[in-house]
Amino acid sequence: MKVQYPNNIKKEFTKLAVSHSNRGMNLETLLNQSNDYYLEKDIALIYKKPTPIGVVDVSYKNHKKIIEKAYFKEQSTLDYNGVYKGRYIDFDAKETLNKTSFPLSNIHPHQIEHIRRCIKHHGFAFLIIRMNGFHYLLTGEDLINYIDNNDRKSIEYKYIQEKGVVIKEGIRPPLDYLKAVDEIFLKGE
Amino acid sequence: MKVQYPNNIKKEFTKLAVSHSNRGMNLETLLNQSNDYYLEKDIALIYKKPTPIGVVDVSYKNHKKIIEKAYFKEQSTLDYNGVYKGRYIDFDAKETLNKTSFPLSNIHPHQIEHIRRCIKHHGFAFLIIRMNGFHYLLTGEDLINYIDNNDRKSIEYKYIQEKGVVIKEGIRPPLDYLKAVDEIFLKGE
């Protein structure tokens, strides 16, 4: 069934749908769709890691192991990793509804340790931060610099705006974060 | 309690324990210990990915999600990945009791596809194969070459001996596979 809108309402709706298309969508979904696009187009090979679980109880049915009780564990690394132009990519996606600062409680100490190690081994580590309706790529280096030089428990929004790169949004891919990687890490290499 | 062996038995035992020390051990355990060593010594950052699961049923207790039923899914990528000297590393561990050939049924079609993609994106993809009491590193390139040019459903042992590199075994790390990576992929870079 096709819904008929009065002309002016339809316009308003279309405009909203385009300009804010990705903002209401789950960040993980957007990244998975972007990674599928990169895979299909042979641009990069980047996956979300499965969430680790702790298995408490199992049973067997037709020789297949069935998990009867388990709980989700915290990822001690970042959620996404892979390869782009031969380089190691490692990142996590974070979002906050806070408008003036990004609370560091969103990043577990293990993950910060992991980011330090990635940098040491010359991988490209970063965060994708959804905040105030934008998606920013903030490098691991800028994150660590902030943490090491501030006593605050959150990163001011102006730091993210200054150091981060706004990720271009579209249909395919919904979040073209590798363009930001080119810009920041590869500098047009 | 310290067990006292008669002198000759103790010797025999020690000899066996040294020369075959790693062979009876679970391959995954050896690799996890090796990766822990590489992590500690700041040599590389390589992790085993969690096994993906399909969740059928959950419950909530004190606001925590508990998995009440789930099953293990097949990994469509390889089990281990990470970064070494800035390069992307991606591999899987396989073993066979077969003495004359390595059955290709050990590698899922999705994994072969994944290896092709890794190579295309200039990652270092390989298998660690435990066979006839040795551990071989066989590159993704040599694996794909074999598959693309043979109708056989298994890889002859002599091909693995010829193309693969024997991984040095020890105490720490139990399997120094990054030495083989240096030799094959980095050629003393």
What ipTM does the predicted assembly reach? 0.83
In this prediction, residues A171-182 reach a mean pLDDT of 96
CATH class of A26-186: alpha beta
Q: Give the up-direction half-sphere exposure of residue B4: CA atoms within 13 A in the CB hemisphere.
A: 1
Nearest CA in chain A to B81: A82
Q: Are B65 and A72 in contact (CB under 8 A)?
A: yes
Parallel, antiparallel or unpaired: strands B124-131 and B87-95? parallel
Q: Which of A127, A187, A114 is nearest to A160 (CA)?
A: A127
Q: What are phi and psi of B44, to 5 degrees?
A: -160, 170
Q: Do B123 and A45 touch (CB under 8 A)?
A: yes
Please state the domain extents for chain B: 22-186
**How big is the A-B interface in CB pairs under 8 Å?**
98
CA distance A184 to A169: 17
Q: Do B86 and A50 touch (CB under 8 A)?
A: no
CA distance B127 to B141: 10
Percent of chain A with pLDDT over 70: 86
Q: Which of B115, B126, B117 is nearest to A39 (CA)?
A: B117
Q: Which helix (H) or strand (E) holds A148?
A: helix A140-149
Q: What are phi and psi of B53, to 5 degrees?
A: -125, 155
CA distance B162 to A31: 42
Residue bearing tokens 């991984």: B167
Please tell me the predicted confidence (pLDDT) of residue A189.
66
What does the block give as tokens for B49? 């990915």
Q: Are B113 and B74 in contact (CB under 8 A)?
A: no
By a Cβ cutoff of 8 Å, what residues of chain B touch chain A?
A: 39, 42, 44-45, 47, 49-53, 64-72, 77, 81-90, 114, 117-118, 120-123
| Biggest alpha carbon–alpha carbon distance for chain A | 62
Q: Which of B18, B24, B22, B16 is nearest to B167 (CA)?
A: B22
pLDDT at A36 over 60: yes
Q: Do A82 and B88 touch (CB under 8 A)?
A: yes
The secondary structure of residue B77, as a DSSP letter, is S
Distances from the Cα of B186 to the Cαs of A147, B119, B183, in angstroms? 35, 15, 6
Burial of B68 (0-12, 13-18, 19+ CB in 10 A): middle
pLDDT band at A188 (very low <50, low <70, confident <90, very high): low
C-alpha dihedral sign at B126, B129, B134, B135: positive
pLDDT band at A104 (very low <50, low <70, confident <90, very high): very high
Q: Do B90 and A83 touch (CB under 8 A)?
A: yes
Q: Do A64 and B49 touch (CB under 8 A)?
A: no
* Parts of chain B with a pLDDT under 50: 1-20
In this prediction, residues A36-42 reach a mean pLDDT of 97
Nearest CA in chain A to B82: A88
Q: Give Cα A45 to chain centroid, integer Å.
A: 15
Please tell me the predicted confidence (pLDDT) of residue B74.
85
Distances from the Cα of A85 to the Cαs of A75, A127, B52, B131, B189, in angstroms? 26, 19, 27, 33, 19
Give me the residues paired with residue A138 across strands.
Answer: A127
Q: What is the pTM of this model?
A: 0.85
CA distance B111 to B133: 25
pLDDT band at A74 (very low <50, low <70, confident <90, very high): confident
Parallel, antiparallel or unpaired: strands A134-139 and A165-166? antiparallel
CA distance A20 to chain B (A): 31
Q: Do B69 and A71 touch (CB under 8 A)?
A: no
Q: Which of A95, A96, A92, A50 is nearest to A73 (CA)?
A: A50
Q: Residue A183 in 3-state DSSP?
A: helix
CA distance A104 to chain B (A): 22
Q: What is the pLDDT of residues A120-135, one digit of tens each?
A: 999 999 999 999 999 9
Q: Give Cα B134 to chain centroid, integer Å.
A: 12
CATH class of B22-186: alpha beta
In this prediction, residues A98-127 reach a mean pLDDT of 96
Q: Do A53 and B53 touch (CB under 8 A)?
A: yes
CA distance A106 to A96: 8
Distances from the Cα of A118 to the Cαs of A72, A142, B84, in angstroms? 24, 13, 9
Q: Which residues of A touch B120 (CB under 8 A)?
A: 42
CA distance A36 to chain B (A): 13
